[in-house]
């Protein structure tokens, strides 16, 4: 009975949020900025940002998510979850065709999840780790069998996170080197036409799209412009209409938003959840004592960093988890995370922990590595050097190129303190666990537990948080996790980054998906 009731409820909510084709004008070309040029178009192998800007227009996921986090049915019309959470049945949409005319069926779903995402996708092995098998009783039903309940899995069905790919073009080949990579064939509203290296990627309207009346646009062109000032000029000139993930730097965005034809929004990043942070080496070097890390977190003026360096875009971090997890009741505000820094208190904390200042006022010497992703981070490093100086920690800054930096931090662990940012993604299991779990100390793997923090109590809590189907118990587990992390601080979160979308307001209908720029743009249209 319980199971039946639950299934009905799920089906009902999905029906309510069912797609209603947006009214909009047909025709026109949308040029938007893709920065930098993607390395390949294989979104099922790489989650690299620029690939995410392009490919969700071509490949679709089973679901999309709206700005309130509600699931929007795309290739799946609905799903039912069993009471024990270990069987999830997806009812797939009928009449959907790949761009080459072949029908989309449950076999494609089975192949995509079991043979592609679980094997070669960077995050797929994590998102679908509990999936042991997928049964396909008919062409339009896919039944996921799970070892343990995996509530987070339901947050990772977007076209960006888990694109559905055609089995008939990948089967029997090496998935990573198959020609599909740069000749993508999807089910999405736009078809891939050509990729002129160094210039643009062109997508044309899919005339046979399964939802009558969509998409509105005839064509989408993603342009690559290496120079930031030129990108801004192209936006001002109306040559490009949409720029996300800070393709237009904040310093220009605050100027452009005063124009009548250009608007700026921070929407469209809630499923990405970027968090600026400092990783510490907890095994060797000057920051092995948690007391030092707590003092550092206390001294940092997060509000100042946001207002001065990031032009007011950002929210001070209040815990190991982003405040966007309030929606699922997982976030709790923690101590040692002041919005405005308290240098006097931090000094007192260090005095109490026995770190004495020498005659030059220095307690500790250290090196701060800075993520090589642009000027803003360099300025953040300069601020940190200054404020750390105020509490007697003398920092030297180090700024290297991407491969050198990755090697240093994630291969050789040859760092002490590293400014970085992580995507926390739509669920802590997907984006946060990789930072703290003992099983996530994986030498040579990027963006995992580089601080080599290991705490069996925390590991047990992370496990129970991942598999707990009961919402209240899950909240309790994460509350405890955040308390432990606010005390030990292997990682000090700085602030929740707010990336910007800068857009020409004659482009409409592109802002409804929580995926933002990683969305399909099927309802986007030009209004002049």
Partner 1 sequence: MTQSTKIIRYVSRRVFQGVPIIIAIIVINFFLLNLAEGDAVDVLAGEAGSATPEYMAQLRAKFGLDQPLPVQLLVYLKNVLALDLGYSFRHDMPVSDLIFDRFFATGLLMTCTILLAVGFGVLLGLLAAMQLNTWKDAVITVFALITYATPLFWVGLMMIVVFSLKLGWLPTSGMENVAAFYEGWDRAKDIAVHLILPTITLSLFYLALYTRMMRASMLEQYGQDYVVTARAKGLTERRITFVHVLRNALLPVVTMAGVQVGALIGGSVIVESVFAWPGLGMLAFESLFARDLNLLLGIFMLSSILVIVVNLIVDIIYCFLDPRIEVS
- Restricted to residues 49-68, the positions that interact with partner 1 (CB under 8 A) are 49
Stretch that binds partner 1, among 190-198, 329-337, 461-469, 505-513 (CB under 8 A): 190-198
Q: Is the dihedral of CA 51, 54, 56, 59 positive or negative?
A: negative
| Options 55, 448, 501, 524; binder of partner 1; rule CB under 8 A | 448
| Tokens linked to 176 | 């990573």
| Tokens linked to 71 | 């699931």
Nearest approach in angstroms of CB 499 to partner 1 is 16
Beta bridge partners of 251: none
| Tokens linked to 493 | 């979160």
The CA R_g of the chain, rounded to the nearest whole Å, is 24
Nearest approach in angstroms of CB 447 to partner 1 is 5
| Options 2, 95, 172, 237; binder of partner 1; rule CB under 8 A | 237
Could you say whether residue 173 binds partner 1 (CB under 8 A)? no
- Of 48 and 483, nearer to partner 1 (C-beta) is 48
Q: What distance in Å separates the CA atoms of residue 206 and residue 57, rounded to the nearest whole number? A: 10
Could you say whether residue 120 binds partner 1 (CB under 8 A)? yes
| Tokens linked to 419 | 């400014």
Query: Alpha helix (H) ranges present in 333-455?
Result: 343-352, 375-390, 402-406, 428-431, 433-436
| Options 7, 22, 37, 459; binder of partner 1; rule CB under 8 A | 37
CA dihedral of residues 449, 455, 457, 459 (deg, nearest 10): 30
Neighbours of 331 (CB within 10 A): 21
Nearest approach in angstroms of CB 47 to partner 1 is 5
Q: Which residue from 412, 158, 105 is spatially nearest to 269, judged by alpha carbons?
A: 158
Nearest approach in angstroms of CB 12 to partner 1 is 35
| Tokens linked to 502 | 């800068």
| Options 48, 394, 454, 464; binder of partner 1; rule CB under 8 A | 48
Nearest approach in angstroms of CB 180 to partner 1 is 11
| Options 84, 386, 444, 460; binder of partner 1; rule CB under 8 A | 444
Could you say whether residue 234 binds partner 1 (CB under 8 A)? yes
Could you say whether residue 438 binds partner 1 (CB under 8 A)? no
Could you say whether residue 399 binds partner 1 (CB under 8 A)? no
Q: What distance in Å separates the CA atoms of residue 366 and residue 99, rounded to the nearest whole number? A: 55
| Tokens linked to 36 | 């930098």
| Options 67, 89, 199, 266; binder of partner 1; rule CB under 8 A | 199
Q: Which residues contact 338 (CB under 8 A, 6 or more apart)?
A: 298, 302
Identify whether 36 is preceded by a cis peptide bond (ω within 30 of 0).
yes
- Whether residue 248 contacts residue 502, with contact meaning beta carbons closer than 8 Å, is answered with yes
Stretch that binds partner 1, among 43-51, 205-213, 282-290, 492-500 (CB under 8 A): 43-51
Q: Across the chain, which distance is largest between two alpha carbons, in Å? A: 77
Q: Which residues contact 65 (CB under 8 A, 6 or more apart)?
A: 71, 72, 155, 158, 271, 426, 513, 514, 515
Could you say whether residue 132 binds partner 1 (CB under 8 A)? no
Stretch that binds partner 1, among 4-12, 81-89, 149-157, 394-402 (CB under 8 A): 394-402
| Options 72, 181, 348, 367; binder of partner 1; rule CB under 8 A | 181
Could you say whether residue 95 binds partner 1 (CB under 8 A)? no
| Options 14, 46, 246, 321; binder of partner 1; rule CB under 8 A | 46
- Of 473 and 506, nearer to partner 1 (C-beta) is 506
Could you say whether residue 36 binds partner 1 (CB under 8 A)? yes
In 259-392, the DSSP E strands lie at 262-265, 274-280, 314-316, 364-370
Could you say whether residue 169 binds partner 1 (CB under 8 A)? no
Residues of this chain that interact with partner 1 (CB under 8 A) are 29, 31, 36-37, 39-40, 45-49, 120, 122-123, 125-126, 176-177, 181-182, 196-200, 202, 219, 221, 223-227, 229-230, 233-234, 236-237, 239, 400-404, 406-408, 411, 423, 434, 442-448
């Amino acid at each position: 009975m319980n199971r039946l009731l639950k299934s009905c409820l799920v089906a009902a909510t999905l029906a309510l949020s069912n797609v209603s084709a947006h009214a909009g004008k047909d025709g026109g070309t949308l040029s938007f900025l893709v920065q930098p040029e993607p390395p390949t178009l294989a979104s099922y192998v790489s989650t690299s940002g620029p690939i995410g800007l392009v490919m969700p227009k071509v490949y679709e996921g089973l679901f999309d998510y709206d700005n309130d986090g509600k699931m929007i049915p795309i290739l799946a019309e609905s799903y039912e979850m069993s009471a024990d959470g270990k069987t999830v049945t997806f009812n797939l949409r009928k009449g959907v065709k790949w761009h080459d005319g072949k029908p989309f069926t449950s076999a494609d779903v089975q192949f995509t999840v079991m043979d592609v995402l679980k094997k070669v996708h960077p995050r797929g092995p994590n998102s679908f780790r509990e999936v042991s098998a997928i049964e396909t009783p008919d062409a339009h039903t896919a039944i996921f069998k799970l070892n343990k309940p995996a509530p987070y899995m339901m947050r990772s069905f977007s076209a960006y996170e888990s694109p559905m790919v055609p089995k008939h073009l990948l089967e029997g080949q090496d998935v990573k080197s198959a020609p599909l990579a740069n000749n993508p064939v999807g089910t999405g509203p736009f078809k891939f036409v050509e990729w002129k290296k160094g210039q643009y990627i062109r997508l044309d309207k899919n005339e046979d799209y399964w939802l009558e009346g969509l998409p509105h646009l005839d064509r989408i062109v993603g342009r690559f412009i290496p120079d930031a000032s030129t990108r801004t000029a192209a936006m001002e000139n109306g040559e490009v209409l949409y720029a996300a993930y800070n393709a237009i730097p904040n310093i220009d965005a605050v100027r452009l938003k005063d124009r009548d034809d250009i608007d700026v929004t921070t929407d469209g990043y809630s499923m990405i959840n970027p968090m600026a942070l400092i990783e510490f080496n907890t095994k060797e070097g000057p920051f092995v004592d948690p007391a030092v890390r707590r003092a550092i977190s206390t001294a940092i003026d997060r509000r100042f960093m946001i207002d001065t360096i990031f032009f007011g875009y950002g929210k001070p971090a209040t815990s190991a988890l982003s405040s966007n997890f309030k929606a699922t009741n997982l976030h709790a505000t923690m101590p040692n995370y002041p919005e405005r820094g308290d240098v006097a208190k931090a000094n007192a904390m260090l005095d109490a922990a026995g770190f004495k200042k020498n005659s030059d006022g220095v307690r500790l010497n250290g090196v701060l590595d800075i993520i090589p992703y642009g000027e803003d981070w360099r300025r953040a490093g300069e601020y940190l050097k200054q404020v750390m100086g105020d509490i007697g920690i003398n920092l030297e800054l180090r700024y290297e190129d991407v491969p050198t930096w990755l090697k240093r931090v994630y291969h050789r662990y040859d760092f002490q303190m590293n400014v970085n940012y992580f995507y926390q993604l739509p669920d802590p299991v997907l984006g946060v666990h990789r930072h703290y779990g003992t099983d996530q100390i994986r030498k040579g793997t990027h963006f995992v537990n580089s601080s080599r923090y290991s705490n069996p109590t925390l590991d047990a809590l992370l496990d129970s948080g991942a598999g707990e189907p009961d919402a209240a118990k899950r909240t309790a587990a994460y509350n405890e996790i955040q308390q432990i992390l606010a005390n030990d601080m292997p990682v000090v979160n700085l602030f929740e980054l707010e990336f910007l979308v800068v857009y020409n307001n004659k482009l409409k209908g592109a802002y409804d998906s929580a995926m933002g720029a990683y969305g399909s743009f099927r309802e986007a249209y030009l209004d002049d």
